[in-house]
Structure 1
């Protein structure tokens, strides 16, 4: 059961760090009046992928056991963490 809690903690960390950073990037790149449009476009472009991920994993849960699905999610979390800290560069210098 500890594995399940660990996955949900890291999912919370990921979602909690993604949303503020995504909105700050929109404020950096958008002009004054375009902020709401870019926020709506960002949310709209992410919605189909979120929906598909939920549908695919939900349909696989009848065939594959939950522990295997959570292990797969954990592997993707580790890959995402590695990519974030090793491959991505900061577009602006730190202040």
Structure 2
């Protein structure tokens, strides 16, 4: 990785080769396919999983979240999915129910 390029989430997890996939899977209680999906798209991690990972790798949660958010922002597919989700809900309105009986 170049010194001026932002770290990727995968690089953050693998920094120093201290932890194997098995170590990470055990901490998160997930399988290998789920881990690889989350590495490709860190937006799939829950906040609880990120907290456990931050503890495992010995980094502050703010730093881990910053890397995740930067990587998600660079992910075009995730950006398109977020935009589609916003469009889907944007037109919905809350309609009050008429009072029952009287």
Q: For the superposition of Structure 1 and Structure 2, which TM-score range results when normalised by the shorter chain? A: under 0.3
Q: Does 1 or 2 have the higher relative contact order (CA < 8 Å, sep 6+)?
A: 1
The TM-score normalised by the length of structure 1 is 0.28
TM-score (norm 2): 0.26
Structure (1 or 2) with the larger CA radius of gyration? 2
